[in-house]
Structure 1
Amino acid sequence: MIGTAVINHYITRMIDVLQTNKSIIQINNSLLNRILKRMLALIFSPSIKKRRNSGDSLIFLTRDNLPDDLYWAKSHPVICRAFASFAVAANAAGESTLTLEARTTVQHYIEDWDGKEPGISRNWAEQAVKPLTGPSKIAAKLALLTAVSPYQIDDDLIRDFRTVYKEDLQLLNVLSWSSFTAARKIGSWLSIPYT
């Protein structure tokens, strides 16, 4: 249950930032739109109906140690390995784009965060990243808003980020790392630590 909540919080943050109101394929003709949807359903239905076994996809994952804050996953080997690998991948994503100072700023804020909404103003984020400068400040602000209030991210903020970080992968790295950082914190609220 905790793993489901953590993944849900991760995905929700990613969607809040990346989702647009446009479909991948723009078709203005309702008949063609219905036909296309039906064809896609026929193409993908065998994959959806395919029987899967727990742990089959572990062959694609490395063997990593589970971080202490994800201790709740230890009781299930498949979930444990999946979250251990996810943590390594998310950390690598953050390290590849964010400076140590930017990551530390966001992590300190998240460590003290109690889950409450910061309000409609972004002043709290501006204050948190105030000690940073240049690209680190821009990236840390995006990461912090993604983690705590992704609904406050707008096109202007993404445009500011893109002036320094040109690659799509850099944007995805920041969003992935910060979304998973927040989701991990939320997961820690849902469990009682082992003694």
Structure 2
Amino acid sequence: MPGPFRYTDPTPPKSATGRTAEVYAQMATDFGTDRAPTFTVLSSAPELLTATWALMRESLLAGPGTRTGKELVALGVSLANRCPFCVDAHTMLLHATGDHRLAETVARGETPADPEQARLLAWGKASRTPGAPKLTPVPFSAEDAPGHIGTALAFHFINRIVSALLTENVLPCGAQKMRAVRSLAGRSLSATVRRELLPGTSLALLDEPDAAGPAWAAGGPVGAAYAALRTAATSGAGLLTDEDRALVAETVAAWEGSHPSLSGSELPGRDRPGARLALLAALAPYRITDEDVTAWRTQQHLDRCLVHLIAYGAFAAVDRIESALGRVALAG
């Protein structure tokens, strides 16, 4: 049966060693599985794997705010980014929280009946667009801001990695599309999802666990994890020429959250394959094709290189989004 990986061949978790094995062990305890393709696909770049896991753990799993509320934010982000894999995954995780009616309401594309839940979902969707009116007022307290903003940013990054490097199926043959399967899969994770986790545990896995994070994170573990991901992801800049880096920076700086047209005329062609891949990863990773990858990849470009280039483009968009969310949070 075909696996979930599109362009890489990651080492199976059971064969992992060193820091990668430590990440998988923590995932098994805190997330309920060490085999999530979302993270396995990053295993050729341990610094990316570790930082991505840390940001997700410290915000969604252990950060302030209710798990249901943060799952709604993650789901809204995934809907805005057109990432069906993550939409299905968070629908199942809503089942795991025990709110089965809510899970199926969002699975049908409907608005939650509870106004606060509806606002969280809408805020997650709006977060793709810097300066969107629906970003204010924020639907969470100042104390809960690190958990909610960290969750949004974690999934703006993860969505892009998933859409670029994985297929759309969370489960084999798309079984997650069946209501009974979604419910059963969620219930299997319910004990893990409802556990209260100690914040900061993942920071021991980072190279620089004390790096300064953004102001909205209030000096907590979410900020340290975000800073680590910023360092790991931006290291991919070295895979591009100066001209291509400038093009990526200029294009993302001018981006207002829209999805590129089907013609893709606003993107560079395959004569500039590195810039094209990075910008697709930032703006429309679901449109990356075999031809795009083949045009850039050479014998010297190992899996690690491709993962780093995609992460570089993905984080360029995350950085643009973070600057807007940070302003909103600090403004109250």
Normalised to the residue count of structure 1, the TM-score between the two structures is: 0.72
* 1:53 aligned onto 2:186: no
The one-letter amino acid paired with 1:3 is G
Distance 1:49-1:116 versus aligned 2 partners, 3 A rule = closer
- The structure that is helix-richer by fraction is 1
* 1:65 aligned onto 2:209: no
Corresponding residue number in structure 1 for 2:223: 80
Distance 1:24-1:96 versus aligned 2 partners, 3 A rule = farther
Range that drifts further, 104-113 or 164-173? 164-173
The one-letter amino acid paired with 2:216 is W
Work out whether residues 165 and 171 of structure 1, in 8 Å CA contact, stay in contact via their aligned partners in 2.
no
Range that drifts further, 57-66 or 117-126? 57-66
The one-letter amino acid paired with 1:125 is L
CA distance in 1, matches of 2:211, 2:197: 23
Q: Secondary structure at the match of 2:297?
A: helix
CA distance in 1, matches of 2:229, 2:327: 22
CA distance in 1, matches of 2:261, 2:246: 23
CA distance in 2, matches of 1:49, 1:191: 29
Corresponding residue number in structure 1 for 2:296: 161
Corresponding residue number in structure 2 for 1:98: 240
* 1:183 aligned onto 2:318: yes
Q: Summarize the alignment of residues 1-195 of structure 1 with structure 2, pairs less than 5 Å apart.
A: 1-20=148-167, 52-61=197-206, 62=208, 63-66=210-213, 70-73=214-217, 75-92=218-235, 94-126=236-268, 137-163=272-298, 165-192=300-327, 194=330
Residue 23 of structure 1, CA deviation: 8.1
The one-letter amino acid paired with 1:53 is L
- Percent identity between matched residues is 29
Residue 152 of structure 1, CA deviation: 1.6
Deviations, residues 84-125 of structure 1 (Å, cap 9, x unaligned): 111111112x13422333222111111111111221112111
The one-letter amino acid paired with 1:100 is D
Work out whether residues 142 and 157 of structure 1, in 8 Å CA contact, stay in contact via their aligned partners in 2.
yes
Query: For structure 2, which runs of at least 5 residues remain unmatched after alignment?
Result: 1-147, 174-184
Range that drifts further, 49-58 or 106-115? 49-58
Which is bigger in relative contact order (C-alpha 8 A, separation at least 6)?
A: 1
CA RMSD of aligned residues (A): 3.1
User: Which 4+ stretches in 1 moved above 3 angstroms?
Assistant: 21-26, 44-52
CA distance in 2, matches of 1:56, 1:115: 33
Work out whether residues 122 and 152 of structure 1, in 8 Å CA contact, stay in contact via their aligned partners in 2.
no
Corresponding residue number in structure 2 for 1:32: none
Work out whether residues 268 and 275 of structure 2, in 8 Å CA contact, stay in contact via their aligned partners in 1.
no
Q: Secondary structure at the match of 1:125?
A: coil
Distance 1:122-1:164 versus aligned 2 partners, 3 A rule = farther
